[in-house]
Amino acid sequence: MKATFRTPKTHKGWIGLFAILTIVLLGSWPVIPLLNHTTIIFGMPILMVWSILLIFLTTGILMILNKMGVND
C-alpha cells in the first residue's frame, strides 16, 4: 500500500488542520514543563488538570469541526 500525504483542499479543511495541530502542540513538550509543578488545583496537580482540560478541548474542537462539515 502506498502511503501519501494529503493536504486539505478547502478553507474549512485548513482551519481543521490548524485546530488539531494547535491541540497537539498544547499537549506536547513546550507546554508540559511549564505546568509540571506541585501546585494543587481542585485537589489535583496542575498537570493533571491540564490533561483533563485538553481532553475537553479536543472533544469540543472535533465536535465543532464535525458541525462545520470538515470531514465531507
pLDDT digits (tens, 9 = 90+) for 51-62: 999 999 999 999
With beta carbons less than 8 A apart as the criterion, state whether 29 and 63 touch: no
Find out whether 23 and 58 touch, Cβ atoms under 8 Å.
yes
Residue type, 58: T
The answer to whether residue 31 scores a pLDDT higher than 70 is yes
Q: Which residue has the cell 490548524?
A: 18
Task: Find, among 18, 13, 24, the residue nearest to 58 by Cα.
Answer: 24
For residue 14, what is its C-alpha cell?
485548513
When comparing pLDDT for 7 and 52, which is higher? 52
* pLDDT of res. 4: 85
